[in-house]
């Protein structure tokens, strides 16, 4: 990996995006050593986070014998320090979405990293930058999934193993992308153990980061320590048009019984699909599908750190989703 230049946040350069378009790019950064992103600072961030801005998930154990579980819940009134303690003792994964909107230091970090990568000007010309903070338990996992925007990950605390797969069949299908676009539930892709033969595997340490090619499926296994990471997200005009096609083709396939024949990003068929997905967004039907796919059905147990309490009937999600 390249060395970090004096005064820089990372070893990224304007040549980096061209590299991660075709293969995962491992790089160094300095954010893990910044006291503004220490664990007690993360607890303070959790404490002041709005309800609409987070997802906390309980998942199954690692290993072939572990039952697949992916349930979304609620802090249950616990403060940031107690939430962090619950994550460290349990099997939980917390996503603080849009951290740049809630914390000036996170916003500065996001802007700095993208600027160093040369991602603001041609040939990338990205926009819609977002930063999230992920906090997850020792031994936690994130199932095989893909992200629709461009994506990167910076490790701050703990160690995790990430498996990155090629963004093509049989690892990723058009229908899989459509389903993610409709539900925003990324972990619904089909995974087979033999896929691992084609995976690139990275053991991320604090001070390391990864960007990878668009839509590359990946899965994550934490090592035996609390993990804190930053996620970076970006859009380009081509990615945005691809997202419109994913939504529109998913609507056609799942709600009108029509098998889409094209993923063209221009021409009359594209504009007709752009209008269809826009109509579903404005009508609220798309938001309804997404809320139904991600109910809230547990809260953190205040008396047993790391344990969860079932809510009974799932409750609707409050506010917008990521």
Characterize 230-261 residue by residue with b for buried, 16 or more Cβ atoms within 10 angstroms of its Cβ, and e for exposed.
bbbbbbbeebebbbbbbbbbbbbbeeeeeebe
The answer, yes or no, to whether residue 11 has pLDDT greater than 90, is yes
What is residue 321's predicted lDDT score, i.e. its pLDDT? 34
| Element housing 109 (H / E) | helix 104-116
The mean-pLDDT minimum among 112-116, 124-128, 156-160, 244-248 falls in: 124-128
**77 to 96, 109, 194: CA distances (angstroms):** 16, 29, 42
The predicted model gives 60-83 an average pLDDT of: 86
- Name the E strands within the chain: 25-28, 54-59, 70-74, 92-96, 127-136, 141-145, 150-157, 160-164, 200-204, 208-212, 218-222, 227-235, 296-300, 308-315
Mean pLDDT of the chain: 90
pLDDT band at 1 (very low <50, low <70, confident <90, very high): low
Q: Cα dist. 112→71, 76, 119, 178 in Å?
A: 34, 35, 11, 32
Domains contained in the chain, CATH given: 16-235+301-315 (2.60.120.650), 237-283 (no CATH)
Range from 26-30, 288-292, 300-304 carrying the lowest mean pLDDT: 288-292
């Amino acid at each position: 990996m390249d060395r970090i230049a004096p005064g820089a946040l990372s070893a990224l350069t304007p040549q980096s995006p061209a590299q991660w378009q075709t293969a995962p790019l491992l790089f160094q950064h300095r954010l893990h050593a910044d006291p503004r992103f220490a664990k007690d600072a993360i607890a303070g961030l959790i404490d002041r986070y709005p309800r609409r801005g987070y997802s906390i998930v309980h998942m199954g154990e690692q290993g072939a014998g572990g039952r697949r579980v992916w349930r979304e819940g609620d802090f249950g009134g616990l403060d940031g320090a107690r939430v962090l303690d619950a994550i460290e003792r349990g099997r939980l994964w917390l996503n603080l979405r849009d951290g740049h909107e809630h914390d000036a230091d996170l916003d500065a970090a996001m802007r700095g990293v993208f600027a160093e990568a040369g991602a603001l000007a041609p040939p990338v010309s990205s926009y819609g930058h977002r930063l999230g903070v992920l906090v997850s338990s020792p031994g936690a996992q994130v199932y095989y999934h893909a992200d629709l925007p461009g994506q990167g990950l910076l490790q701050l605390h703990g160690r995790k193993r990430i498996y990155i797969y090629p963004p093509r069949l049989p690892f990723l299908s058009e229908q899989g992308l459509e389903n993610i676009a409709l539900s925003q539930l990324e972990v619904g892709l089909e995974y087979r153990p033999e896929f691992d033969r084609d995976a690139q595997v990275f053991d991320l340490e604090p001070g390391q980061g990864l960007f990878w090619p668009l839509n590359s499926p990946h899965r994550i296994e934490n090592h035996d320590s609390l993990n804190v990471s930053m996620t970076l997200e970006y859009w380009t005009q081509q990615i945005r048009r691809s997202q419109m096609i994913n939504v529109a083709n998913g609507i056609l396939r799942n709600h009108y019984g029509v098998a889409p024949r094209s993923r063209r990003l221009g021409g009359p068929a594209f504009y007709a699909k752009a209008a269809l997905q826009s109509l579903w967004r404005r009508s609220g039907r798309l938001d309804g599908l997404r809320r139904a796919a991600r109910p809230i059905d547990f809260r953190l147990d205040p008396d047993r750190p790391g344990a969860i309490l079932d809510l009974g009937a799932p409750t609707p999600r409050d506010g917008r989703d990521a």
